[in-house]
Chains A and B, each alone.
Chain A
Amino acid sequence: MRIPPRNTQALAVTLLAGATGLTLAVLVFVIVFILGKGLPVISLGFLFDNPQEMGKAGGIFPTLVGTLILPLVAILIALPAGVGTAVYLSEYTGDNLATRIIRFGTDCLAGIPSIIFGLFGFIFFVTTLKMGWCILSGALTLAIMVLPTIIRTAEEAIRAVPAGYREVSCSLGATRWETVLKVVLPNALPGIVTGIMLSIGRCIGETAAVIFTAGASLRLPHSVFDSTRTMAVHFYILAREGISNENAYGTAAVLILSVLLVNSLSYWMMNRFIARRTK
Protein backbone atom coordinates (compact mmCIF):
# COMPACT_ATOMS: atom_id res chain seq x y z
CA MET A 1 0.00 0.00 0.00
CA ARG A 2 1.62 3.16 -1.16
CA ILE A 3 0.69 6.60 0.17
CA PRO A 4 0.31 9.06 -2.71
CA PRO A 5 3.13 11.67 -2.84
CA ARG A 6 0.54 14.42 -2.50
CA ASN A 7 -0.37 13.09 0.96
CA THR A 8 3.22 12.50 2.12
CA GLN A 9 3.97 16.07 1.07
CA ALA A 10 1.03 17.37 3.12
CA LEU A 11 2.07 15.18 6.06
CA ALA A 12 5.67 16.44 5.89
CA VAL A 13 4.58 20.09 5.85
CA THR A 14 2.28 19.48 8.83
CA LEU A 15 5.03 17.76 10.84
CA LEU A 16 7.70 20.35 10.00
CA ALA A 17 5.38 23.25 10.77
CA GLY A 18 4.37 21.51 13.99
CA ALA A 19 7.99 21.11 15.07
CA THR A 20 8.67 24.77 14.36
CA GLY A 21 5.55 25.83 16.20
CA LEU A 22 6.38 23.69 19.24
CA THR A 23 9.91 25.11 19.44
CA LEU A 24 8.62 28.63 19.13
CA ALA A 25 5.90 28.03 21.74
CA VAL A 26 8.37 26.70 24.34
CA LEU A 27 10.71 29.62 23.69
CA VAL A 28 7.97 32.21 23.95
CA PHE A 29 6.54 30.56 27.07
CA VAL A 30 9.89 30.59 28.90
CA ILE A 31 10.62 34.19 27.99
CA VAL A 32 7.11 35.44 28.77
CA PHE A 33 7.05 33.50 32.06
CA ILE A 34 10.38 34.92 33.29
CA LEU A 35 9.82 38.43 32.01
CA GLY A 36 6.30 38.36 33.48
CA LYS A 37 7.66 37.51 36.92
CA GLY A 38 10.86 39.52 36.64
CA LEU A 39 9.97 42.77 34.88
CA PRO A 40 7.81 44.15 37.75
CA VAL A 41 10.85 43.82 40.05
CA ILE A 42 13.14 45.82 37.76
CA SER A 43 13.59 49.50 38.52
CA LEU A 44 16.49 51.94 38.33
CA GLY A 45 17.16 51.18 41.99
CA PHE A 46 17.21 47.44 41.32
CA LEU A 47 19.76 47.95 38.52
CA PHE A 48 22.06 50.47 40.17
CA ASP A 49 21.90 49.83 43.95
CA ASN A 50 24.11 47.56 45.98
CA PRO A 51 22.46 44.41 47.30
CA GLN A 52 21.52 44.21 50.97
CA GLU A 53 21.09 41.15 53.20
CA MET A 54 22.82 38.85 50.65
CA GLY A 55 20.49 40.02 47.90
CA LYS A 56 17.21 39.73 49.80
CA ALA A 57 16.80 43.48 49.38
CA GLY A 58 18.55 46.20 47.39
CA GLY A 59 19.77 45.99 43.81
CA ILE A 60 22.10 43.90 41.69
CA PHE A 61 24.62 46.49 40.52
CA PRO A 62 27.85 44.54 41.34
CA THR A 63 26.53 41.44 39.55
CA LEU A 64 25.65 43.59 36.53
CA VAL A 65 29.26 44.80 36.43
CA GLY A 66 30.55 41.25 36.96
CA THR A 67 28.38 39.96 34.10
CA LEU A 68 29.80 42.63 31.80
CA ILE A 69 33.46 42.29 32.81
CA LEU A 70 33.89 38.52 33.08
CA PRO A 71 32.72 37.53 29.57
CA LEU A 72 34.49 40.56 28.12
CA VAL A 73 37.87 39.56 29.57
CA ALA A 74 37.23 35.92 28.64
CA ILE A 75 36.49 36.84 25.00
CA LEU A 76 39.49 39.20 24.86
CA ILE A 77 41.65 36.21 25.82
CA ALA A 78 39.89 33.55 23.73
CA LEU A 79 39.36 35.55 20.53
CA PRO A 80 42.98 36.10 19.43
CA ALA A 81 43.94 32.57 20.44
CA GLY A 82 40.89 31.01 18.78
CA VAL A 83 40.91 32.99 15.54
CA GLY A 84 44.70 32.63 15.36
CA THR A 85 44.36 28.86 15.63
CA ALA A 86 41.61 28.81 13.02
CA VAL A 87 43.68 30.90 10.58
CA TYR A 88 46.73 28.74 11.14
CA LEU A 89 44.79 25.49 10.66
CA SER A 90 42.95 26.58 7.53
CA GLU A 91 45.44 28.89 5.80
CA TYR A 92 48.88 27.69 6.78
CA THR A 93 48.58 23.92 7.13
CA GLY A 94 47.25 21.22 4.87
CA ASP A 95 44.90 18.48 5.94
CA ASN A 96 47.30 16.13 7.72
CA LEU A 97 47.31 13.87 10.75
CA ALA A 98 48.41 16.61 13.14
CA THR A 99 45.66 19.05 12.15
CA ARG A 100 43.08 16.25 12.19
CA ILE A 101 44.13 15.43 15.77
CA ILE A 102 43.86 19.12 16.73
CA ARG A 103 40.38 19.34 15.20
CA PHE A 104 39.26 16.14 16.91
CA GLY A 105 40.69 17.48 20.17
CA THR A 106 38.81 20.78 19.96
CA ASP A 107 35.59 18.91 19.15
CA CYS A 108 36.06 16.76 22.26
CA LEU A 109 36.87 19.84 24.33
CA ALA A 110 33.59 21.41 23.19
CA GLY A 111 31.62 18.51 24.67
CA ILE A 112 33.15 18.59 28.16
CA PRO A 113 30.73 19.74 30.89
CA SER A 114 31.51 23.21 32.19
CA ILE A 115 31.94 22.05 35.77
CA ILE A 116 35.03 20.10 34.69
CA PHE A 117 36.49 23.34 33.36
CA GLY A 118 35.50 24.96 36.66
CA LEU A 119 37.31 22.30 38.63
CA PHE A 120 40.36 22.60 36.38
CA GLY A 121 40.35 26.38 36.75
CA PHE A 122 40.05 26.06 40.52
CA ILE A 123 42.94 23.61 40.80
CA PHE A 124 45.21 25.29 38.22
CA PHE A 125 44.56 29.06 38.31
CA VAL A 126 43.08 29.54 41.79
CA THR A 127 45.19 27.10 43.78
CA THR A 128 48.37 26.13 41.90
CA LEU A 129 49.07 29.57 40.41
CA LYS A 130 47.81 31.13 43.68
CA MET A 131 45.66 33.63 41.77
CA GLY A 132 42.76 33.11 44.14
CA TRP A 133 39.10 33.63 43.28
CA CYS A 134 39.19 36.53 40.90
CA ILE A 135 37.94 37.83 37.57
CA LEU A 136 41.15 36.81 35.82
CA SER A 137 40.94 33.19 37.04
CA GLY A 138 37.30 33.06 35.95
CA ALA A 139 37.97 34.69 32.59
CA LEU A 140 40.87 32.35 31.81
CA THR A 141 38.69 29.36 32.68
CA LEU A 142 35.80 30.63 30.56
CA ALA A 143 38.25 31.39 27.74
CA ILE A 144 39.39 27.77 27.69
CA MET A 145 35.76 26.68 27.81
CA VAL A 146 34.67 28.70 24.75
CA LEU A 147 37.90 28.25 22.76
CA PRO A 148 36.59 25.21 20.82
CA THR A 149 33.44 27.10 19.81
CA ILE A 150 35.44 30.08 18.59
CA ILE A 151 37.97 27.92 16.74
CA ARG A 152 35.40 25.80 14.94
CA THR A 153 33.02 28.61 13.96
CA ALA A 154 35.94 30.76 12.81
CA GLU A 155 37.39 27.87 10.83
CA GLU A 156 34.08 27.13 9.13
CA ALA A 157 33.71 30.81 8.27
CA ILE A 158 37.27 31.01 6.91
CA ARG A 159 36.77 27.90 4.79
CA ALA A 160 33.62 29.39 3.32
CA VAL A 161 35.57 32.33 1.86
CA PRO A 162 35.84 31.54 -1.89
CA ALA A 163 39.23 30.17 -2.94
CA GLY A 164 39.12 32.59 -5.87
CA TYR A 165 39.51 35.55 -3.51
CA ARG A 166 42.75 34.10 -2.16
CA GLU A 167 44.08 33.42 -5.67
CA VAL A 168 43.24 36.93 -6.81
CA SER A 169 44.84 38.46 -3.74
CA CYS A 170 48.03 36.42 -4.18
CA SER A 171 48.15 37.10 -7.90
CA LEU A 172 48.04 40.83 -7.11
CA GLY A 173 51.21 40.47 -5.08
CA ALA A 174 49.85 39.90 -1.58
CA THR A 175 51.62 37.59 0.83
CA ARG A 176 49.60 34.90 2.59
CA TRP A 177 49.39 37.10 5.68
CA GLU A 178 48.25 40.17 3.71
CA THR A 179 45.64 37.95 2.08
CA VAL A 180 44.44 36.79 5.49
CA LEU A 181 44.19 40.36 6.80
CA LYS A 182 42.66 42.03 3.76
CA VAL A 183 40.50 39.33 2.22
CA VAL A 184 39.99 36.23 4.36
CA LEU A 185 39.19 37.69 7.79
CA PRO A 186 36.90 40.53 6.58
CA ASN A 187 34.85 38.04 4.57
CA ALA A 188 34.80 35.49 7.39
CA LEU A 189 33.70 38.14 9.89
CA PRO A 190 29.97 37.29 10.03
CA GLY A 191 30.78 33.68 10.95
CA ILE A 192 33.39 34.76 13.47
CA VAL A 193 30.91 37.15 15.09
CA THR A 194 28.38 34.33 15.34
CA GLY A 195 30.98 32.30 17.21
CA ILE A 196 31.73 35.22 19.52
CA MET A 197 28.05 35.70 20.30
CA LEU A 198 27.55 32.02 21.06
CA SER A 199 30.58 32.24 23.33
CA ILE A 200 29.40 35.40 25.09
CA GLY A 201 26.05 33.71 25.65
CA ARG A 202 27.74 30.69 27.21
CA CYS A 203 29.92 32.92 29.43
CA ILE A 204 26.98 35.02 30.59
CA GLY A 205 24.91 31.98 31.41
CA GLU A 206 27.69 29.98 33.07
CA THR A 207 27.46 29.29 36.81
CA ALA A 208 29.44 26.20 37.79
CA ALA A 209 32.74 27.21 36.21
CA VAL A 210 32.37 30.79 37.51
CA ILE A 211 31.62 29.95 41.17
CA PHE A 212 34.74 27.74 41.27
CA THR A 213 37.07 30.34 39.79
CA ALA A 214 35.74 33.88 40.09
CA GLY A 215 33.98 33.27 43.39
CA ALA A 216 30.72 34.92 44.35
CA SER A 217 31.68 38.17 46.08
CA LEU A 218 28.94 40.77 46.17
CA ARG A 219 31.40 43.65 46.45
CA LEU A 220 32.01 45.82 43.41
CA PRO A 221 35.28 44.63 41.77
CA HIS A 222 38.02 47.24 41.30
CA SER A 223 40.44 45.20 39.20
CA VAL A 224 40.63 41.82 37.47
CA PHE A 225 42.25 40.48 40.66
CA ASP A 226 39.06 40.97 42.66
CA SER A 227 36.40 38.32 43.05
CA THR A 228 33.02 38.99 41.47
CA ARG A 229 29.56 37.53 41.11
CA THR A 230 27.76 37.34 37.79
CA MET A 231 23.99 37.64 37.40
CA ALA A 232 23.73 33.93 36.59
CA VAL A 233 25.55 33.03 39.80
CA HIS A 234 23.49 35.58 41.75
CA PHE A 235 20.30 34.07 40.37
CA TYR A 236 21.50 30.58 41.26
CA ILE A 237 22.38 31.57 44.83
CA LEU A 238 19.17 33.55 45.37
CA ALA A 239 17.02 30.66 44.17
CA ARG A 240 19.12 27.83 45.64
CA GLU A 241 19.42 29.36 49.10
CA GLY A 242 15.82 30.54 49.00
CA ILE A 243 16.91 34.12 49.70
CA SER A 244 14.44 35.87 47.44
CA ASN A 245 12.48 34.34 44.60
CA GLU A 246 11.30 37.76 43.56
CA ASN A 247 14.82 39.16 43.14
CA ALA A 248 15.89 35.92 41.46
CA TYR A 249 13.29 36.45 38.73
CA GLY A 250 14.26 40.11 38.48
CA THR A 251 17.88 39.09 37.94
CA ALA A 252 16.84 36.50 35.35
CA ALA A 253 14.85 39.10 33.45
CA VAL A 254 17.81 41.50 33.39
CA LEU A 255 19.99 38.58 32.23
CA ILE A 256 17.69 37.78 29.30
CA LEU A 257 17.45 41.43 28.30
CA SER A 258 21.24 41.88 28.40
CA VAL A 259 21.81 38.83 26.18
CA LEU A 260 19.28 40.32 23.77
CA LEU A 261 21.08 43.66 23.89
CA VAL A 262 24.54 42.15 23.33
CA ASN A 263 23.32 40.11 20.36
CA SER A 264 21.48 42.98 18.69
CA LEU A 265 24.48 45.23 19.19
CA SER A 266 26.88 42.76 17.60
CA TYR A 267 24.58 42.19 14.63
CA TRP A 268 24.23 45.92 14.17
CA MET A 269 27.98 46.48 14.31
CA MET A 270 28.63 43.62 11.89
CA ASN A 271 26.06 44.86 9.38
CA ARG A 272 27.52 48.35 9.56
CA PHE A 273 30.96 46.93 8.87
CA ILE A 274 29.73 44.90 5.89
CA ALA A 275 27.75 47.84 4.52
CA ARG A 276 30.79 50.09 4.76
CA ARG A 277 32.98 47.62 2.88
CA THR A 278 30.57 47.04 0.01
CA LYS A 279 28.43 50.04 -0.67
Chain B
Amino acid sequence: MTDAVKISNRNFSVFYGAIQALRGITLDVLAHQILGIIGPAGSGKTALLRSMNRLNDLNPNCRVEGQILLDGEDIYQPEFDAVRLRKRVGMVFALPVPLPLSLFDNIVYGPRLSGIRARARLNELVERSLQAAFLWDEVKDRLQTSALRLSGGQQQRLCLARVLAMEPEVILLDEPCSGLDPISTSRIEEALMALKSKYTIVLVTNNTKQAARVADTTAFLLQGELVEVGPTDRIFTAPKDQRTNDYVSGRFG
Protein backbone atom coordinates (compact mmCIF):
# COMPACT_ATOMS: atom_id res chain seq x y z
CA MET B 1 0.00 0.00 0.00
CA THR B 2 2.34 2.63 -1.25
CA ASP B 3 -0.37 5.25 -1.63
CA ALA B 4 -1.33 5.32 2.05
CA VAL B 5 -1.14 8.78 3.63
CA LYS B 6 1.40 8.69 6.47
CA ILE B 7 1.33 12.29 7.59
CA SER B 8 -1.37 14.75 6.75
CA ASN B 9 -0.91 18.48 7.36
CA ARG B 10 -4.34 20.12 7.53
CA ASN B 11 -4.62 23.90 7.25
CA PHE B 12 -1.53 24.10 9.45
CA SER B 13 0.00 27.41 10.52
CA VAL B 14 3.04 28.24 12.67
CA PHE B 15 3.77 31.52 14.44
CA TYR B 16 7.07 32.57 16.02
CA GLY B 17 5.97 35.40 18.28
CA ALA B 18 4.15 37.84 16.00
CA ILE B 19 5.69 36.44 12.81
CA GLN B 20 3.68 33.90 10.86
CA ALA B 21 6.08 31.33 9.39
CA LEU B 22 3.51 29.00 7.82
CA ARG B 23 0.12 29.96 6.37
CA GLY B 24 -2.49 27.23 6.30
CA ILE B 25 -0.45 24.41 4.80
CA THR B 26 -2.44 21.39 3.61
CA LEU B 27 -0.06 18.70 2.45
CA ASP B 28 -0.07 14.90 2.54
CA VAL B 29 3.05 12.79 2.94
CA LEU B 30 2.64 9.37 1.34
CA ALA B 31 4.10 6.29 2.98
CA HIS B 32 7.29 4.80 1.48
CA GLN B 33 7.99 7.83 -0.64
CA ILE B 34 10.43 10.68 -0.51
CA LEU B 35 8.67 14.01 -0.29
CA GLY B 36 10.99 16.82 -1.31
CA ILE B 37 10.22 20.29 0.06
CA ILE B 38 11.89 23.11 -1.82
CA GLY B 39 11.72 26.86 -1.51
CA PRO B 40 13.96 29.86 -0.90
CA ALA B 41 15.36 30.72 2.54
CA GLY B 42 12.65 31.89 4.92
CA SER B 43 9.88 30.11 3.05
CA GLY B 44 8.91 28.03 6.09
CA LYS B 45 10.45 24.69 5.03
CA THR B 46 12.19 24.12 8.34
CA ALA B 47 9.20 25.36 10.36
CA LEU B 48 7.04 22.78 8.61
CA LEU B 49 9.56 20.01 9.19
CA ARG B 50 9.99 20.82 12.87
CA SER B 51 6.22 20.79 13.27
CA MET B 52 5.99 17.20 12.15
CA ASN B 53 7.96 15.92 15.15
CA ARG B 54 6.84 18.76 17.44
CA LEU B 55 10.40 19.96 17.93
CA ASN B 56 8.88 23.43 17.79
CA ASP B 57 7.62 22.70 21.29
CA LEU B 58 11.13 23.52 22.56
CA ASN B 59 10.66 27.12 21.45
CA PRO B 60 8.41 28.87 23.98
CA ASN B 61 7.54 31.62 21.47
CA CYS B 62 6.15 29.16 18.98
CA ARG B 63 2.40 28.73 18.47
CA VAL B 64 0.62 26.47 15.99
CA GLU B 65 -2.87 26.30 14.44
CA GLY B 66 -4.50 23.54 12.45
CA GLN B 67 -3.80 19.83 12.54
CA ILE B 68 -1.08 17.37 11.65
CA LEU B 69 -2.24 13.76 11.49
CA LEU B 70 0.15 10.84 11.83
CA ASP B 71 -1.63 7.64 10.74
CA GLY B 72 -4.86 9.61 11.18
CA GLU B 73 -4.13 10.75 14.74
CA ASP B 74 -3.73 14.46 15.54
CA ILE B 75 -0.23 14.86 17.00
CA TYR B 76 -1.08 18.26 18.47
CA GLN B 77 -3.97 17.07 20.61
CA PRO B 78 -3.05 17.59 24.27
CA GLU B 79 -2.97 13.91 25.24
CA PHE B 80 -0.58 12.99 22.40
CA ASP B 81 2.87 12.25 23.87
CA ALA B 82 5.49 14.35 22.04
CA VAL B 83 8.35 12.19 23.32
CA ARG B 84 6.81 9.02 21.86
CA LEU B 85 6.05 10.92 18.67
CA ARG B 86 9.75 11.77 18.24
CA LYS B 87 10.65 8.10 18.57
CA ARG B 88 8.37 7.41 15.60
CA VAL B 89 9.42 10.48 13.60
CA GLY B 90 13.20 10.89 13.52
CA MET B 91 15.09 13.95 12.35
CA VAL B 92 18.44 14.76 10.75
CA PHE B 93 19.52 18.38 11.09
CA ALA B 94 21.16 20.73 8.59
CA LEU B 95 24.45 20.78 10.46
CA PRO B 96 25.63 17.39 11.66
CA VAL B 97 25.47 17.44 15.46
CA PRO B 98 27.20 14.37 16.85
CA LEU B 99 26.92 14.28 20.63
CA PRO B 100 30.36 14.41 22.28
CA LEU B 101 30.32 10.66 22.84
CA SER B 102 31.77 7.67 21.05
CA LEU B 103 30.32 6.57 17.69
CA PHE B 104 28.72 3.61 19.43
CA ASP B 105 27.13 5.69 22.20
CA ASN B 106 25.81 8.18 19.65
CA ILE B 107 23.98 5.50 17.74
CA VAL B 108 22.53 3.69 20.75
CA TYR B 109 21.41 6.96 22.38
CA GLY B 110 17.84 6.53 21.11
CA PRO B 111 17.59 2.75 21.65
CA ARG B 112 18.91 3.07 25.21
CA LEU B 113 16.24 5.67 25.93
CA SER B 114 13.70 3.12 24.77
CA GLY B 115 15.05 0.72 27.37
CA ILE B 116 17.17 -1.54 25.16
CA ARG B 117 20.11 -2.69 27.30
CA ALA B 118 21.22 -6.06 25.88
CA ARG B 119 24.69 -5.67 24.42
CA ALA B 120 24.10 -8.08 21.55
CA ARG B 121 20.97 -6.22 20.49
CA LEU B 122 22.76 -2.86 20.66
CA ASN B 123 25.69 -4.21 18.65
CA GLU B 124 23.33 -5.47 16.02
CA LEU B 125 21.48 -2.13 15.86
CA VAL B 126 24.76 -0.25 15.47
CA GLU B 127 25.97 -2.44 12.65
CA ARG B 128 22.65 -2.44 10.82
CA SER B 129 22.15 1.34 11.08
CA LEU B 130 25.70 2.10 9.99
CA GLN B 131 25.33 -0.29 7.06
CA ALA B 132 22.11 1.42 6.02
CA ALA B 133 23.75 4.84 6.24
CA PHE B 134 26.71 3.59 4.13
CA LEU B 135 29.16 4.33 6.93
CA TRP B 136 29.91 0.87 8.37
CA ASP B 137 32.95 0.06 6.25
CA GLU B 138 34.64 3.36 7.10
CA VAL B 139 34.20 3.20 10.88
CA LYS B 140 33.69 -0.41 11.91
CA ASP B 141 37.14 -0.59 13.52
CA ARG B 142 36.77 2.54 15.64
CA LEU B 143 33.29 2.48 17.11
CA GLN B 144 34.65 3.50 20.52
CA THR B 145 36.39 6.67 19.30
CA SER B 146 34.78 10.08 19.64
CA ALA B 147 32.20 10.95 17.01
CA LEU B 148 33.71 14.44 16.90
CA ARG B 149 36.73 13.01 15.08
CA LEU B 150 34.75 12.08 11.96
CA SER B 151 34.72 14.28 8.87
CA GLY B 152 31.64 16.39 8.19
CA GLY B 153 30.22 13.96 5.65
CA GLN B 154 30.80 11.01 7.97
CA GLN B 155 29.22 12.90 10.86
CA GLN B 156 26.07 13.51 8.84
CA ARG B 157 25.83 9.84 7.90
CA LEU B 158 26.37 9.04 11.58
CA CYS B 159 23.42 11.30 12.39
CA LEU B 160 21.36 9.40 9.83
CA ALA B 161 22.45 6.09 11.34
CA ARG B 162 21.55 7.42 14.79
CA VAL B 163 18.02 8.13 13.59
CA LEU B 164 17.75 4.73 11.87
CA ALA B 165 18.77 2.98 15.11
CA MET B 166 15.55 4.27 16.70
CA GLU B 167 13.69 2.28 14.06
CA PRO B 168 11.35 5.20 13.30
CA GLU B 169 8.48 5.22 10.82
CA VAL B 170 9.24 8.61 9.33
CA ILE B 171 12.58 10.36 8.77
CA LEU B 172 12.68 14.14 8.48
CA LEU B 173 15.79 15.64 6.92
CA ASP B 174 16.49 19.36 7.13
CA GLU B 175 18.89 20.28 4.32
CA PRO B 176 21.10 17.34 5.31
CA CYS B 177 23.66 18.02 2.60
CA SER B 178 23.96 21.79 2.86
CA GLY B 179 27.46 21.62 4.34
CA LEU B 180 28.72 18.58 2.46
CA ASP B 181 30.88 17.97 -0.57
CA PRO B 182 29.40 16.32 -3.70
CA ILE B 183 30.69 12.85 -2.86
CA SER B 184 29.29 12.88 0.67
CA THR B 185 26.06 14.27 -0.76
CA SER B 186 25.73 11.44 -3.24
CA ARG B 187 26.34 8.91 -0.44
CA ILE B 188 23.51 10.39 1.59
CA GLU B 189 21.22 10.45 -1.45
CA GLU B 190 22.10 6.85 -2.20
CA ALA B 191 21.20 5.91 1.37
CA LEU B 192 17.89 7.75 1.18
CA MET B 193 16.89 6.01 -2.08
CA ALA B 194 17.61 2.66 -0.45
CA LEU B 195 15.74 3.56 2.73
CA LYS B 196 12.43 4.64 1.28
CA SER B 197 11.16 1.08 0.93
CA LYS B 198 11.16 0.83 4.73
CA TYR B 199 10.53 4.40 5.81
CA THR B 200 8.63 7.50 4.86
CA ILE B 201 11.03 10.33 4.15
CA VAL B 202 10.57 14.09 4.10
CA LEU B 203 13.55 15.93 2.65
CA VAL B 204 13.84 19.67 2.94
CA THR B 205 16.47 20.96 0.57
CA ASN B 206 17.88 24.20 -0.73
CA ASN B 207 19.16 22.36 -3.71
CA THR B 208 16.39 21.96 -6.29
CA LYS B 209 18.51 19.50 -8.27
CA GLN B 210 18.67 17.25 -5.23
CA ALA B 211 14.88 17.20 -5.02
CA ALA B 212 14.73 16.39 -8.73
CA ARG B 213 17.16 13.51 -8.21
CA VAL B 214 15.65 11.78 -5.19
CA ALA B 215 12.11 12.97 -4.44
CA ASP B 216 8.99 11.15 -5.65
CA THR B 217 6.80 14.10 -4.85
CA THR B 218 7.95 17.69 -4.58
CA ALA B 219 6.30 20.57 -2.75
CA PHE B 220 7.24 24.19 -3.36
CA LEU B 221 6.90 26.62 -0.47
CA LEU B 222 7.12 30.39 -0.78
CA GLN B 223 6.75 32.88 2.09
CA GLY B 224 4.99 30.35 4.29
CA GLU B 225 2.53 29.24 1.65
CA LEU B 226 2.35 26.00 -0.28
CA VAL B 227 2.47 27.13 -3.89
CA GLU B 228 2.36 23.78 -5.58
CA VAL B 229 2.78 20.08 -4.92
CA GLY B 230 2.90 17.20 -7.37
CA PRO B 231 4.97 14.37 -8.81
CA THR B 232 8.58 15.52 -9.04
CA ASP B 233 8.73 15.03 -12.82
CA ARG B 234 5.77 17.27 -13.39
CA ILE B 235 6.95 19.98 -10.94
CA PHE B 236 10.25 20.25 -12.77
CA THR B 237 8.96 19.91 -16.34
CA ALA B 238 5.47 21.34 -16.35
CA PRO B 239 4.79 23.39 -13.21
CA LYS B 240 1.30 24.84 -13.09
CA ASP B 241 2.24 27.96 -11.18
CA GLN B 242 4.41 30.68 -12.68
CA ARG B 243 6.29 31.13 -9.37
CA THR B 244 7.21 27.42 -9.28
CA ASN B 245 8.42 27.69 -12.84
CA ASP B 246 10.56 30.71 -11.98
CA TYR B 247 12.05 28.96 -8.93
CA VAL B 248 12.87 25.59 -10.47
CA SER B 249 14.33 27.22 -13.55
CA GLY B 250 16.58 29.27 -11.29
CA ARG B 251 15.11 32.68 -11.97
CA PHE B 252 15.11 33.55 -8.25
CA GLY B 253 15.86 32.04 -4.88
Binding site for B on A (CB under 8 A): 94, 162, 164-175, 178, 182-183, 187, 277-279
Chain A residues with CB below 8 A from B148, complex form: 278
Which one of A162, A167, A172 contacts B109 once the chains associate, using CB atoms below 8 Å?
A: A172
Given known A164-B95, A166-B58, contact A172–B166 (CB-CB < 8 A):
yes
Q: Contact flags (1/0) for B143-167 with A, using CB distance below 8 Å?
A: 0111010000000000100110010
Q: Is the CB of A172 within 8 A of B86?
A: yes
Binding site for A on B (CB under 8 A): 53, 55, 58, 60, 83-84, 86-87, 90-91, 93, 95, 97, 99-102, 109-110, 113-114, 144-146, 148, 159, 162-163, 166
Q: Is the CB of A171 within 8 A of B90?
A: yes
Q: Is the CB of A174 within 8 A of B113?
A: yes
Chain B residues with CB below 8 A from A169, complex form: 99, 109
- Chief secondary structure at chain A's binding surface: helix
Which one of B55, B60, B95, B101 contacts A278 once the chains associate, using CB atoms below 8 Å?
A: B101
Excluding A164-B95, A167-B55, A172-B86, 18 further A-B contacts by CB distance (< 8 Å) are A94-B60, A164-B93, A165-B99, A165-B100, A167-B58, A168-B93, A169-B109, A170-B86, A171-B53, A171-B55, A171-B86, A171-B93, A183-B99, A187-B100, A277-B100, A277-B101, A278-B100, A278-B148
Q: Is the CB of B97 within 8 A of A164?
A: yes
How many A-B pairs fall under 8 Å by CB?
Answer: 64
Provide the bound-state CA to CA distance between A162 and B100, in Å.
Answer: 11
Q: Is the CB of A173 within 8 A of B55?
A: no
- Chief secondary structure at chain B's binding surface: mixed
Provide the bound-state CA to CA distance between A167 and B86, in Å.
Answer: 11
Provide the bound-state CA to CA distance between A144 and B117, in Å.
Answer: 41
Interface-centre pick from A168, A174, A182, A279 (highest chain B CB count, 10 A): A168
Q: List 25 A-B contacts (CB under 8 A).
A: A94-B60, A162-B97, A164-B93, A166-B58, A167-B55, A167-B93, A168-B93, A169-B109, A170-B86, A171-B53, A171-B86, A171-B93, A172-B90, A172-B113, A172-B162, A173-B83, A173-B84, A173-B110, A173-B114, A173-B166, A174-B83, A175-B83, A278-B148, A279-B145, A279-B146
Q: Is the CB of B60 within 8 A of A279?
A: no
Provide the bound-state CA to CA distance between A183 and B91, in Å.
Answer: 18
- The residue of chain B having its C-beta at the shortest distance from the C-beta of A182 within the complex is B109
Chain A residues with CB below 8 A from B91, complex form: 171
Provide the bound-state CA to CA distance between A175 and B100, in Å.
Answer: 19
Q: Is the CB of A173 within 8 A of B93?
A: no
Q: Is the CB of A173 within 8 A of B86?
A: yes
Chain B residues with CB below 8 A from A164, complex form: 93, 95, 97
Q: Is the CB of B166 within 8 A of A167?
A: no
Chain A residues with CB below 8 A from B60, complex form: 94
Provide the bound-state CA to CA distance between A175 and B166, in Å.
Answer: 15
Provide the bound-state CA to CA distance between A187 and B98, in Å.
Answer: 13
Chain B residues with CB below 8 A from A279, complex form: 102, 144-146
Chain A residues with CB below 8 A from B144, complex form: 279
Chain B residues with CB below 8 A from A171, complex form: 53, 55, 86, 90-91, 93
Provide the bound-state CA to CA distance between A168 and B174, in Å.
Answer: 13
Chain A residues with CB below 8 A from B146, complex form: 278-279
Which one of A162, A170, A182, A278 contacts B58 once the chains associate, using CB atoms below 8 Å?
A: A170
- The residue of chain B having its C-beta at the shortest distance from the C-beta of A175 within the complex is B83
Provide the bound-state CA to CA distance between A172 and B82, in Å.
Answer: 11
Within the complex, the shortest CB–CB distance from A177 to chain B, in Å, comes to 10
